[in-house]
Amino acid sequence: MNTQWLAGFPVFRLISLVIAIVLIVSFIPHSESQSIMPEAAAQSPEDAAAVFKVPAGAVKPAESAASFARISSSKQSSVTPASQPQSKPKEANKVIYLTFDDGPSKWTDDVLAILKKADVPATFFVLGEQAKRFPEIISRINEAGHAIGNHTYNHKYDELYASFGVFWSQIKETEEVLRNITGKRTPLVRAPGGTYGHFDTAYFQLLEQGGYKVFDWNLDSGDSKRKGVPASEIIQNATPAKPGDSVTLLMHDGAGHEETVKALPKIIDYYKSLGYEFRAITPEVLPVQFAVSPKMKNSKRPQPSSGWIQAHIVPNAELFGPGEPLYVEAGGLETKLAAGEYELRDGQFRVPLRAVMERLGAEVSWNGLEKSAIATWGDTRIIVSSADDTIVVEAPGESEKRFTASLEWRNGLLWLPLRTLLEVTGHDIMSVTANTEERRVRAS
């Protein structure tokens, strides 16, 4: 019997040990038992899919990332510490573009003073004839950092909307007036009276193809609805309860708009109180544009020919595109032509006569009927005629010299080879250089 008990003792000890292990394991918390799982098994793709899978259509696409984040974080903690900052949804930016048409006038300086005091920018769509009359105001607008746009030359509807060619010529004329004052061209355009009822599809397309950006408005201050609109009415029109996130506000700084000047401070204060950011219009801004009216869709207005488009519209876009400037040195003076103000054709630089001669100190007068120009440079008189492609040079004490040249009348400008222009005026080309930053022609 003693022998049997001794023989069974190892079995008894083994059974007791197994029972003890089972009891110990049964009292271990479930979370701890997970912690001893092999890491590779816990991170397997199948496990992840089983935990985070969401039924199709249960979550909208825009909510998927946020939902996934909430599910993930809930596995770690269901309580957010009180000290943890709570993120707030970001409000949409609200922007207002203050725009002024028909200036400059005697009221423009008052507008500039108000804008300066309020420290806000604006955009001035100016008339060419007014800019020519008040160049010093244009300079002040430019120096103050405001944007300048093109509002045609004379604002006369019967001329501007009779044909696109007239509209184009007024844009180009005003552009040249502004360039002579500021040294810059503006691609920003606003049609007098707005585009609705005035523009057909061709107007929009050709201006865009020519490098311009056309801007209408989505809020009218009503300061030009009739003569003498009072400031109180202008303020009421310009400050609706819900203006929208992006406002392009139409106002006027032309003659007879002193009430707009009175209304402007309260208009600015209103939008500041609503948290709007004030900006000047740039070419990168998505423009507000009116739809083409049914009347204009069926317009029988004459359209430009393909030849006219190729000669005027297509090259014009280069004025606002990237490229190297051309520097011309002659007679001890230097001038700069921006990319688009000259062209390189058949190995020759071609330039507009007036731009080059005036920048080199000459005086240029035009005879539009004969398509000829007279440039006076010092004591030398240069007569350029595109009718017969001739250049006549008259200088004191010298006989008249006559040259044949390749002349071209385009965009209201007379173009010719730069070499021809320099040589007939007695400036021989000494060197021509070019690199990635500039092109340069040096003449005697």
Most distant pair of Cα atoms in the chain: their distance = 154
Of 216, 217, 215, 213, nearest to 244 (Cα)?
217
Please, what is the end-to-end C-alpha distance for the chain in angstroms?
135
Spatial distance between the Cα atoms of 83 and 360, rounded to a whole number of angstroms: 70
Spatial distance between the Cα atoms of 440 and 395, rounded to a whole number of angstroms: 28
Q: What is the distance, to the nearest Å, from the Cα of residue 15 to the centroid of all Cα atoms in its chain?
A: 87
Asked if 380 contacts 425 with a C-beta cutoff of 8 angstroms, the reply is yes
Asked if 359 contacts 250 with a C-beta cutoff of 8 angstroms, the reply is no
From 146, 151, 198, 252, active-site residue: 252
What is the three-class DSSP state of 408? Answer: strand
Please name every residue paired with 220 in a beta bridge, in sequence order, or none if there are none: 250
Spatial distance between the Cα atoms of 155 and 134, rounded to a whole number of angstroms: 16
In the annotation, is 101 catalytic?
yes
Sequence-distant (≥ 6) Cβ neighbours of residue 302 within 8 angstroms: 163
In the annotation, is 109 catalytic?
no
DSSP 313: I
Hey, which residues are catalytic here?
Answer: 101, 252
